[in-house]
């Protein structure tokens, strides 16, 4: 059994502290921009399920934020983790590893975009979003 994505959420900001995820402004799917190019602060919160047989081993993750046609990349973050087996954990138990990535992206024009989570080199989950120009009144 391989690593499995539990969740991938777009939000305004996120952090992981003490095995808890703290998130502000989560679950959006659209960015409103007054004018282009634009800077936008965003975050991606990910939960990764680690099955018993994948604990005590190095794993990699990568989060890429890009246009859906891959013509522009807004952010690309990668890293590694190793989830151990704490004392008292029942044999066969699955554990959750959480990752929070905050980034300031530059957007050149309206577009369809996606945030992708890859685990051990394979795309595991993707969340689409849209960047639109706000009408000024």
7-34 burial, b if ≥16 CB within 10 A, otherwise e? Answer: bbbbbeebebeeeebebeeeeeeebebe
Q: What is the C-alpha separation between 88 and 117, in angstroms, rounded?
A: 31
Q: Say if residue 33's pLDDT is above 90.
A: yes
- pLDDT surpassing 80 at residue 121: yes
Residue 9: domain span: 4-133
Instruction: Please count the structural domains in the chain.
Output: 1
The yes-or-no verdict on residue 35 having pLDDT over 90 is yes
- Evaluate if residue 137 carries a pLDDT over 80: no
| CB neighbour burial string for 64-87, b if at least 16 within 10 angstroms, e if fewer | bbbbeeeeeebbeeeeeeebeeee
Residue 119 pLDDT class (50, 70, 90 cuts): very high
Residue 1 — very low, low, confident or very high, per pLDDT cuts 50/70/90?
A: confident
In whole angstroms, give the CA distance from residue 93 to residue 134.
Answer: 47
Residue 47: beta bridge partners? Answer: 7, 98
Q: Taking CA 119 as the corner, what is the angle to CA 115 and CA 120, rounded to the nearest 5 degrees? A: 140
Instruction: Answer yes or no: is pLDDT of 73 > 90.
Output: yes
The predicted pLDDT at position 64 comes to: 98
Residue carrying the six token digits 């794993």: 59
> Where residue 73 sits, what CATH number does that domain have?
2.60.40.2550
Report the percent of the chain where pLDDT is more than 70: 99
């Amino acid at each position: 059994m391989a690593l499995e994505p539990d969740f991938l959420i777009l939000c305004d900001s996120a952090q992981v502290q003490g095995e808890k995820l703290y998130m502000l402004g989560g679950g959006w799917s659209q960015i409103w921009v007054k004018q282009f190019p634009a800077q936008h602060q965003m975050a991606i919160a990910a939960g990764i399920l680690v099955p018993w047989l994948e604990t005590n081993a190095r794993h990699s993750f990568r989060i890429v934020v890009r246009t859906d046609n891959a013509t522009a990349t807004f952010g690309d973050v990668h890293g590694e983790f190793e989830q151990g087996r704490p004392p008292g954990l029942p044999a066969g138990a699955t554990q959750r590893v959480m990752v929070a990535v905050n980034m300031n992206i530059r957007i050149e024009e309206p577009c369809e975009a996606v945030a992708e989570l890859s685990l051990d080199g394979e795309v595991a989950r993707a969340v689409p979003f849209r960047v639109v120009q706000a009408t000024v009144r």
